[in-house]
Amino acid sequence: MKTLEIPQDGFEGLKQNWRSDALSGFMVFLLALPLSLGIAKASEFPPAMGVLTAMVGGLFVSLFAGSRLTIKGPAAGLITICAGAVTELGGGTEGWKLALGVIVVASLLQIAFGFLKFGALSDFFPHSVVHGMLAAIGLIIFSKQIHILLGIDPATLKGLETIELFERIPDSLYHEDPRVTLVGIISLIIIFGMPFIKSKYIKKIPIPLVVLLVAVPMTTWMDFRHTEPAFDLVTVGNFWGDIGFNADFSAIGSFVFWKYVLMFLLVGSLESLLTVKAMDSLDPWKRTSNANKDLIAVGGGNMLAGLLGGLPMISEVARSSANINFGGRTQWGNFFHGFFLLLAMLLFIPIIELIPNAALAALLIAVGYRLASPNEFFKTYKIGAEQLTIFVITIIATLATDLLVGVGVGILMKFIFHLLNGATVKSLFKAHFEYAETEGVHMISVKESAIFSNLIGFKKMFNRIKPGQKVVINFSEARMVDHSFMEFLHHFEEEYQHQGGVVSIQGFDYFQMFSNHPLASRKLVPVNPSKIELRLSPRQIELRKLAENNEWAYYPQRTRATIKYKGFPFQTGKKISFEENILSQYTEHGKLELSDVTLLEGALQDQKEIPITILHISDVDILAPDFALEPEGMWSKLFEGISGKDIDFAQYPVFSKKYYLRSPQENDIPSFFTESLIHFLENQEDMHIECHKHRFIFYKKRDLLEPAEMLHLAKFAEDFLEVISTNKK
């Protein structure tokens, strides 16, 4: 556990945090190297040019970026655009160099977008459309990479559309290369099998690194270099000799050139901005990025990479999430990731050329699967059936045409749904509201509709609100509120409360939600309040019975007011989505609250929900240092640099071996962890315990607890506090 003192920026931040940022940068480098090679190869670029892009994103863009924790580099979401540009502009070296000209022009426009403050561009694109576009990209990636994994010559696939590539799969299975396929299948087993390993320390090891550590020795042992075609291994070639002025602008007068300029500009900017916003929500210090400055920096990086021969870059979501989880604190994590890539290209090109393309294809198939997994369909459906419809239509339209048309069709469908559900034409693009401020209270009355296409107008109004005050938002005069606006409202509520303010949301009493999701779209449907009933799930019925039998108060509804968990290490690098099923009770030791908390780990397509039952104890009359205590595993020491120093007690070896103890107030730890408390913990089952500002949380595992387990957790916590109280008397 590290102190939540906000890390400094610039060179002061480097001096302050170079150890944690260098370690995080190294771990991200291990993730980025194989992915950069694979993305470039799938994009019809020389493989090493993907590494060039990541190097530029780290060494150059990090110095000017407006976001602190994002990692810049090539992205799977741009594979179809890059490959399409190279192919339609002539293919081969000629197509590559003409595509570089497209990238440079698009990057100049991207820089202009940043100076024109178009950083809010992502607000205009509804989430279901964006996710539909990315899911279509995932299917396109899979349709080509499955053939590479089977050892099929990529030259035989050129010119085939996505549907044709899917139709070709049975033929590729029939003609597969058994040895290449073996490497690919084992790579897939590692990729999809490692997440099932429960150890949180194993989860910190980059999966692509494990894939390479297995695949490279396999291909070396089977002597792929002499027994398989050249296309089955990565070819770097004369990397340093190939770097130079490679961009060709001779196609600038053609329709194809400008079509791909628009695609690179919109899709690249949109993906990058969405990632920046997502990473802000995972930042342990809740810093706010400058989206316009970041767009300018990414545009500058794209221009440099494009001139030299590299792919376009974005703020990439998987590597950025990994940077946070590995303990990155400032923009220097991105810099170090680029620095280690530079060392790799200086020293290890012969080793890189031993990497089998089947392993890279497996990594890209996994990326494609994440973008278009059944879980993406299910998550979208949970938000609302209309969201799923727009999501699927966007996928179909994209596969049938191209990205721009697919996104356009998805947005059109979104407008049609809004009009059918009560939105008026006049409210589609204009925000209607009344705003008043009286004695530190901001009163906002939302009128007509609050939807994705007028969200920018609402954001400008919300940006005028001073921090640390009270905001009352009333929807009683509104007709409809969509999912995009609810997402924004949730983010505003969370951030404003973290700044010490209070947010009160009113007027949804007569709104019908499109699903049970807390951020689902909703429309005005006047009903008789007496007919409103609360339907409890089987778990809620169980917990209500538990509360009745044990004198707990029970509140089943979901709440997003999770400010009480601010500062606790268990949520570092994650985001609390909501809290529900709250059981509360006052005891002699303080206020106990048992609840089910849903943590969000990762972002966008890499996002996972972690349900966890937590006991929070406040109003404790005990002075205690901030600390985090968790069962110690075999990997604890290895990741000590990421998670914080383990405080051991020489006189209590059993306790020191059993628990991993961290604290920013190390000098106060010995007086708190007395002999009686240590003996208590030694003789009890393993437990996670954290303390922050004299409040405690306890949890047994990262999962929901059964009612009997919840009572046992509460009993453990009371016994723990009883030992502490006795020591203080």
Contact 234, 212 (CB under 8 A): no
Which residue, of 346, 371, 396, is where some domain finishes? Answer: 371
What is the model's pLDDT at position 642?
53
Are 95 and 209 within one domain?
A: yes
Tell whether 128 and 271 lie within a shared domain. yes
Based on the fold, state whether residues 549 and 525 are members of the same structural domain. Answer: no
AA letter at 123: D
635 inside domain: yes
What per-residue confidence (pLDDT) applies to 205? 81
Domain housing 653: 539-728
Tell me if 4 sits within 8 A of 284, measured CB to CB. Answer: yes
Question: Which of 312, 224, 200, 155 shows the shortest CA–CA distance to 601?
Answer: 200
Kindly state whether residue 279 falls inside one of the protein's structural domains: yes
Same domain (yes/no): 612, 502: no
- The helix (H) or strand (E) run that includes residue 662 is strand 659-662
**DSSP conformational letter for 604:** G
- 387 within domain boundaries: no
Among 489, 471, 482, smallest CA distance to 522 is for 482
* pTM for the full predicted model: 0.80
How far apart (Å, rounded) are the C-alpha atoms in residues 312 and 145? 20
Identify the pLDDT of residue 587: 87
My answer on whether 470 and 606 are in the same domain is: no
Cα–Cα distance, 415 to 452 (Å, whole number): 10
Report the CATH number at residue 461.
3.30.750.24
pLDDT tens digits for range 417-462: 999 998 999 999 999 999 998 888 999 999 999 999 999 899 889 9
The last residue of a domain, from among 473, 497, 531 = 531
With b meaning 16 or more CB within 10 Å and e meaning fewer, what string describes 340-349? bbbebbeeeb
Q: Please enumerate in sequence order all residues whose Cβ is within 8 A of that of 291, keeping only pairs 6 or more positions apart, or say none.
A: 66, 67, 119, 120, 273, 276, 277
- pLDDT for res 412: 94
Q: Looking at the DSSP assignment, which residues form a beta bridge with residue 271? A: none
- Same domain assignment for residues 141 and 20: yes
**Secondary-structure breakdown of the chain: helix, strand, coil percentages, each rounded to the nearest 5:** 55, 15, 30
Mean pLDDT for back-to-back runs of 10 residues, the chain (729 residues): 69 91 92 93 94 97 94 93 94 95 97 90 82 91 94 89 92 94 96 83 82 94 93 90 93 96 93 87 84 95 96 92 88 96 94 94 92 90 92 93 88 93 91 89 93 91 88 93 91 82 87 86 73 70 92 84 79 82 89 91 77 92 88 60 74 90 88 92 92 92 92 94 80
Closest by CA to 183, choosing from 356, 367, 400, is: 356
35 shares its domain with 159? yes
Continuous H helices in 316-384: 317-325, 332-347, 349-352, 357-372, 374-383
Verify that 330 and 277 share a domain, yes or no.
yes
Name the nearest CA neighbour of 367 among 577, 554, 134, 149: 134
pLDDT value at residue 523? 92
- 322 is a domain residue: yes
Predicted pLDDT of residue 632:
80
- Tokens representing 54 are 């990541």
Single-letter residue type at 258: W
pLDDT, one tens digit per residue, over 249-304 is: 999 999 999 999 999 999 999 999 888 888 887 888 878 899 999 999 999 999 99
At 728 the pLDDT is 65
Contacts 24+ apart (CB under 8 A), 451-454: 451/418, 451/423, 451/427, 451/480, 451/481, 451/482, 451/484, 451/485, 452/123, 452/124, 452/125, 452/126, 452/414, 452/482, 452/484, 452/485, 453/124, 453/415, 453/428, 453/429, 454/427, 454/428, 454/429, 454/430
Instruction: Estimate to the nearest angstrom the gap between the alpha carbon of 121 and the chain centroid.
Output: 19
Contact 582, 591 (CB under 8 A): no
Q: Supply the DSSP symbol for 559.
A: B
3 state SS of 438? strand
How many domains is the chain partitioned into structurally? 3
User: Does residue 410 lie in a domain region?
Assistant: no
**Do residue 486 and residue 548 come from a single domain?**
no
Q: Do 610 and 505 lie in a common domain?
A: no
Residues 449 and 508 in one domain: yes
Whether residues 523 and 544 share a domain: the answer is: no
Tell me, yes or no, whether 402 lies in a domain. Answer: no
